[in-house]
Amino acid sequence: MSYNRQNFQTGAILYASQLNAMDAQIQESQAACDRLAGEVERLDSEKLSGRSTFISDGVTLTLNKYMNTTTLAENAGGSGSSCGYVDFTFTGAAPSTVIFTGRCGDSLNYRALAFYDSENNLLGAVGERTATAYTNQQVSVPPGARRVIVNNIFGGVGNLAFSYESNEFQLAISKAAVAVTSPWNGKKIVLLGTSVGFGQYAAKSYFDVAAELLGFEKVNTSVPGMCIHTQNGGLPTDRSYASSLSLSEYAALGASVPSSPSDSHYFCAWDRIFTSQTADADYYLFAVTPNNINWDLTDWNAFDKTNWRYTDGSSFSAHRDTFLGALLFLMDKLYALNPNARMALVIDCSFNRADGLAAFERLKSQWLIPVIDLWAGINYTPPYHLKTWAAADNPHPSTLAHQCMGRMLAGELLRLA
């Protein structure tokens, strides 16, 4: 596969444009929150006319604490000289009672107040063909009611009023205040990682936490103990697995490879990671720095970054004994599977953090691939290592650390959306 400078420059321009758009959305979200707070303060003790208030794109706050309607209009279909008519649909849960003021002529085929379900089946009525006058009459709402029709017909006389009181607007405000229209909702994100991304020694992986917050479909290919590079020209390191090897290469080495997707080491080969299951992913996260041991720059320096090939014409598979060579190999497999793939590089623990961050920064500087350093924001002080590490002698992230990193990852993904 060939990549040229124009492709990467175009990608950089697109990335910058997307970042600017996201910054604008963040500013608008803050402004929306400010408007929402103002609405809540102003309307909390006010008797509200039924209406909807625009808060931000995709968020409309419906205010129905009191729904008051006063209508007196000509109705050509009625026999009275003046007819008032309201057809109202409950936007949320119907109240248990409503308050009604009005009258209906005794010989007319009208009901003063009629309730219908969502399929417009009549559930109950008040004042059917009677001349009864109602003043602030409390009326029980039948279960399942979604719609109410109010009539006022009486010889040019009448003040039609229909109202109900509920806590719907407080509930709507509460939901609007916390609701986020996630740009990742329903999207698919793939994580390549190690025991940290797998969530070992924690109740839940940070990847799981971010998925729950943003609503994306997650494909977690993390493998405990995994490194990405080989050694001695194609052998696994002492970690037993190297994700830059293929299933056939493992077989040729006589290595046992799990066959069940439920096995924690199932994704130990690149051709288990880059498959039809991940080909349509919207984003790929590489949290692959732990467990690697060879940070030599030989392969990186031999790579033609403009034309996406090695300067001596050798294959990517011939350059898998270093971390950066193996990373370029995996990226090439990714781009062969999905030429439009977007990716980010993730630091998710203290293992190899300095070497891994230095390697990732080279890719960021060359191709503007984002680096997400979650561990830089873990914010611990020496007495609290036990809270962020699984145990004093086991510096895997704890459940608390995964929760923190999951929220941080969600924030970073929103910025990169």
On whether residue 360 sits in a domain, the answer given is: yes
On whether residue 59 sits in a domain, the answer given is: no
What is the per-residue pLDDT for 179?
A: 44
Q: Are residues 221 and 106 in the same domain?
A: no
Q: Are residues 225 and 319 in the same domain?
A: yes
* Terminal CA-CA length for the chain: 26
What is the per-residue pLDDT for 60?
A: 40
What is the per-residue pLDDT for 30?
A: 64
Q: Are residues 271 and 130 in the same domain?
A: no
List the beta bridge partners of residue 394. Answer: 391
Asked whether the CA dihedral 194, 196, 201, 203 is positive or negative, the reply is negative
What is the per-residue pLDDT for 328?
A: 98
Q: Are residues 157 and 195 in the same domain?
A: no
| DSSP, residue by residue, 328-355 | HHHHHHHHHH-TT--EEEEE-SSTTHHH
Q: Are residues 410 and 354 in the same domain?
A: yes
Read off the amino acid at residue 256. Answer: S
Tell me the whole-structure pTM to 2 decimals: 0.59
Number of domains making up the chain? 2
List the beta bridge partners of residue 163. Answer: 99
Of 129, 163, 197, which marks where a domain is finished? 163
Q: Are residues 157 and 252 in the same domain?
A: no
On whether residue 51 sits in a domain, the answer given is: no
On whether residue 58 sits in a domain, the answer given is: no
On whether residue 121 sits in a domain, the answer given is: yes
Q: Are residues 326 and 412 in the same domain?
A: yes
CATH number of the CATH domain containing 230: 3.40.50.1110
CB environment 309-334: b (16+ within 10 A), e (fewer):
bbeeeeebbebbbbbbbbbbbbbbbb
On whether residue 25 sits in a domain, the answer given is: no
Q: Are residues 137 and 277 in the same domain?
A: no
pLDDT < 70: residue spans in the chain: 1-88, 91-92, 100-110, 128-132, 150-181, 233-240
On whether residue 57 sits in a domain, the answer given is: no
SS3 (DSSP) at 44: coil
On whether residue 358 sits in a domain, the answer given is: yes
Domain that holds residue 151: 69-163
SS3 (DSSP) at 285: strand
Q: Are residues 237 and 310 in the same domain?
A: yes
Q: Are residues 209 and 312 in the same domain?
A: yes
What is the per-residue pLDDT for 235?
A: 67
Contact 112, 134 (CB under 8 A): yes
Q: Are residues 236 and 154 in the same domain?
A: no
